Amino acid sequence: MGKTIRVTVWNEFRHEQNEKHEASKVYPEGMHAVIAAALAKEPDFEVRTATLDEPEHGLTEEVLANTDVLTWWGHAAHQEVQETIVERVHQRVLLDGMGIILLHSAHYSKIFKKLMGTTCSLKWREVGEKERLWIVEPGHPIATGLVDYFEVPHTEMYGERFDIPAPDTLVFVSWFQGGEVFRSGCCYHRGNGKVFYFRPGHETFPIYYQPEVQRVLINACRWAAPNGAPNPTFGNRKPLEEF
Amino acid sequence: MGKTIRVTVWNEFRHEQNEKHEASKVYPEGMHAVIAAALAKEPDFEVRTATLDEPEHGLTEEVLANTDVLTWWGHAAHQEVQETIVERVHQRVLLDGMGIILLHSAHYSKIFKKLMGTTCSLKWREVGEKERLWIVEPGHPIATGLVDYFEVPHTEMYGERFDIPAPDTLVFVSWFQGGEVFRSGCCYHRGNGKVFYFRPGHETFPIYYQPEVQRVLINACRWAAPNGAPNPTFGNRKPLEEF
Amino acid sequence: MGKTIRVTVWNEFRHEQNEKHEASKVYPEGMHAVIAAALAKEPDFEVRTATLDEPEHGLTEEVLANTDVLTWWGHAAHQEVQETIVERVHQRVLLDGMGIILLHSAHYSKIFKKLMGTTCSLKWREVGEKERLWIVEPGHPIATGLVDYFEVPHTEMYGERFDIPAPDTLVFVSWFQGGEVFRSGCCYHRGNGKVFYFRPGHETFPIYYQPEVQRVLINACRWAAPNGAPNPTFGNRKPLEEF
Amino acid sequence: MGKTIRVTVWNEFRHEQNEKHEASKVYPEGMHAVIAAALAKEPDFEVRTATLDEPEHGLTEEVLANTDVLTWWGHAAHQEVQETIVERVHQRVLLDGMGIILLHSAHYSKIFKKLMGTTCSLKWREVGEKERLWIVEPGHPIATGLVDYFEVPHTEMYGERFDIPAPDTLVFVSWFQGGEVFRSGCCYHRGNGKVFYFRPGHETFPIYYQPEVQRVLINACRWAAPNGAPNPTFGNRKPLEEF
């Protein structure tokens, strides 16, 4: 309540730096810049960014130690993310309760697959069709401020079967013009941390400029913020009772 | 395994008996007759039917005591179902583990609302549009024999928000031509019993003749059959340990 | 964030008014007074109380319209709670998203059974044994500020099988000296609202004075507060897409 | 239904081959021999065994291709299991729907941690105390034939917080003499496959000789058997609808 939430917006940031790529026109400063700007309007959010090509991908021990919620966008360079950084993020989620929000093509990131334990595969199509996200759990914090559904006018399609564990809570289900559906907003507890997968977003459609999408990202950061639980203690224990 | 599953197919059976109603042409013997015939082809199924206008709605103590799985279709006459029978079915599910499969407009039946504890409301439209049911949990017994998706060419639309408890397992999600989605195959444990809500079906579209729909009904009966657990024992207990 | 949470603490308040009952010594002003005092220390909580013997059980339309979270303690007089009030509370949870927290013997209240759809039965014993509540989901908001477990030195035992729907999230599991276990902290979404069942509490053991128990109640009120979702709209709809 | 279930019982099989280890007396042929013998009594089960020190740990492509359900016991040599075999088992579960049953100390096996995505850590104590497993979902197939609870007279304790994803279905919760509780029977869908973690079992306590434990293992094999779903197809798709 009133506590500052420190968000680190991570981006692969490759498409946008390629002048020949359409992404450089839609997101000239990178998707992370647009996302970070949207989040930074919240008075209780403290937002920084980090990208793949920074040393340690911008995710040093020090940065992670000062991150309550990490948002993650990756696509073409999942394989370039170093195992040690993946491991570091994984531990930070499980042990310290850092929240993590996986965006769109991050369904195939190493960290999401490691957290889920499944292939995280899906069907896809890139023809710019319409998507309509229906709210199936309207009382959930991540649905705050939204009513019934919202639309993304042009997007890449992701379709079921999405090979993930059934979410602890399913918040959004997408309808696509081409005939598919998708579980688009999926909440998980993992270790001390919270994980949210959010489907919308793309490097060349201006989806992260949409107010409804920004609304969800803000809500998700609040929901995913750690509750301050200490590192769990495991291992050998003396009995608490005599017998 | 190899054990006989005794199924009672319950139907409101009003639309079909009204000669002026289109239902009387599509299902001249009633929907229950078509459903029962499909189920009766399974060598280990023993199938009977029951309808609203029979004494005790055909659901006497004796019938229920000999029913492993009850399927339920109702629409226009939910309010005519007597409370004592609803209570009897409810107890038979919770205490004896009888499976119950709620079909289409049975989302608004007294028994489903009583089992769910919510309004079970939804959005709807009756223009004969196309529905495509996507399998989101392909390894679940109720999805056996189906691949990826199946279509219902003309149907009534049901759309989210469907006000139900989040299912224990979500097996199907529907796409509708008009732009909606729906959680169409929902599994629940309630008491000793299992509950399955299955969206497809309608009094004037010939949906219960579809092989995929019949496949799901057969699978659902197998899944919902009781495991033989005795009535749970509750109440005052002596300690199991000294202290 | 910073928004006031209006809590109504409801109590049957019969045991405590009976001078011959031990409860009158442990909770001379009623359990609701102790619970309300604990909650009222939170600067963002606005707390009132209501009891069975007030007109409309203290739960008028106006009171409920100004309640974000209702806590409920009942035991001997569940049957005296009027159906109209139960219905009113039920609708307020499902439609308006009011949170509801059911305490101890409220497992058998009409409103809890109505929300759950099951018998809500359990095993019990009243010999004053020790209970230890283990945190099984430490990152959940309701576990905030607690570590590993906490103990209730003397309590009534409740044991499994507890006939409830599997919770959306299970936060606490109890160990009892006499040999039983119990799912003691159970979270549910129902309609627009959130429901939390919390086992600890009793009319003659001073459990609601315990800081850990008060901590859970405060956390649960925050978690259960509505997210402001409007009443869901259901019913007939025009297509959103042409076809 | 009546279909043969091919079970492979895998065991680390080190403790039992060490003549100085108590395990060699309790399980002279190995725990796998006792488990396999119990399962082989089921007329529809076809049972084989495999152990760590066989080539490819006895889990060749051919063996896995002919395995419907794999049970796994490991303890001291988790690190010796080759990554390629772990990957092979993982793929066989996710893609082909092979069931996998993880036993006791297999909570720390590579395959379980990979499937869960969490640390799978817990508290433990080895003093031979009593465990009582309570059935919290009596209608579940894995609880078939059991009533209320069963006891393991002497065992190693495992205590919460058990760092796993919340199970899709929680079937058993354990009570321990020393004061802890544990989620002892945990069901998951992962990919096309089903996963069951079952806590009881130990290298020196004769737990796998217990009829109730054998009952659970038989039930779990039936529940976890694949439903025949084909390998899911993912990747690029043409629209199913024109627009």
pLDDT digits 0-9 by tens, C77-128: 999 999 999 999 999 999 999 999 999 999 999 999 999 999 999 999 999 9
pLDDT at D88: 98
Measured in angstroms, the CA of C58 and the nearest CA of chain B are apart by: 24
Residue given tokens 């989101």 in the structure block: B136
**D191 vs B147: CB contact, 8 Å cut-off?**
no
Nearest Cα of chain D lies from the Cα of C148 at a distance, in angstroms, of 7
**Helix A211-224 / helix A31-40 crossing angle, nearest 10 deg:** 70
Chain A residue nearest residue D168, CA to CA: A166
Cβ separation of B170 and A175 shorter than 8 Å?
no
State yes or no: pLDDT of D121 exceeds 80.
Answer: yes
Of residues D94, D125, D168, nearest to A118 (C-beta): D94
The pLDDT assigned to C1 comes to 45
pLDDT, position C149: 98
Which one, of D31, D70, D6, lies nearest residue D209 by Cα? D31
Q: At what angle do helices D211-224 and D31-40 cross, to 10 degrees?
A: 70
**Band of pLDDT at residue D1, cut at 50, 70 and 90:** very low
Which residues of chain A does C187 touch, with a Cβ-Cβ cutoff of 8 Å? none
Q: Which helix (H) or strand (E) holds C111?
A: helix C110-116
Supply the DSSP symbol for D41. Answer: T
Distance between CA atoms of residues C79 and C86, nearest Å: 11
| Residue C195: strand pairing partners | C100, C188
Q: What is the pLDDT of residues A117-148, one digit of tens each?
A: 999 999 999 999 999 999 999 999 999 999 99
**Inter-chain contact A241–C2, Cβ cutoff 8 Å?**
no
CB spacing of C240 vs B129 below 8 angstroms? no
Average pLDDT for chain D: 97
Nearest chain B Cα distance for residue D28, angstroms: 33
| Shortest distance, CA B77 to any CA of chain D (angstroms) | 31
Predicted confidence (pLDDT) per residue in C123-153, tens digit: 999 999 999 999 999 999 999 999 999 999 9
Do the Cβ atoms of A114 and D115 come within 8 Å? no
Instruction: Output the pLDDT for position C214.
Output: 98
Q: What is the pLDDT of residues C59-75, one digit of tens each?
A: 999 999 999 999 999 99
Which of C1, C138, C193 lies at the smallest CB-CB distance from A2? C1
ipTM > 0.90?
A: yes
Task: For residue D230, give both structure tokens.
Answer: 């084909």
Q: Does the beta carbon of B153 lie under 8 angstroms from any beta carbon of chain D? A: no
Task: Using CB atoms, pick whichever of D144, D222, D241 lies closest to residue B228.
Answer: D144
What is the rounded average pLDDT for all residues in chain A?
97
Q: Show the tokens assigned to A98.
A: 């850092």
* Other CB atoms within 10 Å distance of the CB of residue D222: 17
Cα separation, A28 vs A48, whole angstroms:
18
Single-letter amino acid code for the residue at C200: P
Helix (H) or strand (E) holding D120: none
Distances (CA, A) of D19 to D35, D173, D202: 21, 35, 17
Chains interfacing with D (3 or more CB pairs < 8 Å): A, B, C
**What gap in Å lies between CA A36 and CA A208, rounded to an integer?**
10
Binned at pLDDT 50, 70 and 90, residue A1 comes out as very low
C-alpha B146, offset from chain centre: 19
- Do C52 and C77 touch, CB atoms closer than 8 A? yes
pLDDT of residue B2: 64
**Residuewise pLDDT in 10s, chain B (243 residues):** 468 999 999 999 999 999 999 999 999 999 999 999 999 999 999 999 999 999 999 999 999 999 999 999 999 999 999 999 999 999 999 999 999 999 999 999 999 999 999 999 999 999 999 999 999 999 999 999 999 999 999 999 999 999 999 999 999 999 999 999 999 999 999 999 999 999 999 999 999 999 999 999 999 999 999 999 999 899 999 999 998
**How confident is the prediction for chain B on average, in pLDDT?**
97
Mean pLDDT of the A189-197 span: 98
**Dihedral angle computed from the Cα positions of residues B233, B235, B241 and B242, in that order, rounded to the nearest 10 degrees:** -150
CA distance B31 to C120: 35
Nearest to B139 among D1, D97, D147 (CB): D97
Residues of A in contact with B160 (CB under 8 A): 134-136, 173
Q: What type of residue is D24?
A: S
Query: Nearest 10 degrees: CA dihedral of B199, B201, B207, B213?
Result: 40
What pLDDT sits at residue A133? 98
Report yes or no: B145 at the D interface, CB cutoff 8 Å.
yes
Tell me, yes or no, if A117 comes closer than 8 A to chain D by beta carbon. yes
pLDDT band of C2, cuts 50, 70, 90: low
For residue D2, the model assigns a pLDDT of: 65
Q: Looking at beta carbons, which residues of chain D come within 8 Å of C181? A: 134, 173-175, 181
Cβ burial of B102 (10 Å; 0-12, 13-18, 19+) is: buried
Residues of chain B with C-beta less than 8 angstroms from the C-beta of D189: 137, 139-140, 169
Measure CB to CB from residue B97 to each of D139, D191, D230 and give the nearest one. Answer: D139
CB pairs under 8 A between B and D: 71
What is the Cα Rg of chain A in Å?
Answer: 18
Q: Which residue has the tokens 């990178």?
A: A30
Chain C residues near residue A189 by CB distance under 8 angstroms? 137, 139-140, 169
Cβ contact D134–C166 (<8 Å): no
d(CA A5, CA A67): 8
Q: Once rounded to an integer, what is the mean pLDDT over residues A94-98?
A: 98
Nearest CB to A241; choose among D166, D179, D239: D179
CA distance to B98, B220, C141, D137, D145, per residue, from B5 (Å): 11, 12, 44, 21, 18
**Cβ–Cβ < 8 Å for D54, D17:** no
Would an 8 Å CB–CB cutoff place D127 in contact with chain A? yes
**A84 interfaces chain D, CB cutoff of 8 Å:** no
The DSSP secondary structure of chain A, one letter per residue, reads ----EEEEEEE---GGG-TTSTHHHHSTT-HHHHHHHHHHTSTTEEEEEEETTSGGGG--HHHHHT-SEEEEE-SS-GGGS-HHHHHHHHHHHHHH--EEEEEGGGGGSHHHHHHH-S----EEEEEEEEEEEEES-TTSGGGTT--SEEEEEEEEEEESPP-SPPPSEEEEEEEETTS-EEEEEEEEEETTEEEEEE----SSS-GGG-HHHHHHHHHHHHHHS---PPPP--EE---SS--
Q: Do D189 and B140 touch, CB atoms closer than 8 A?
A: yes
Q: What confidence score (pLDDT) does residue A16 get?
A: 97
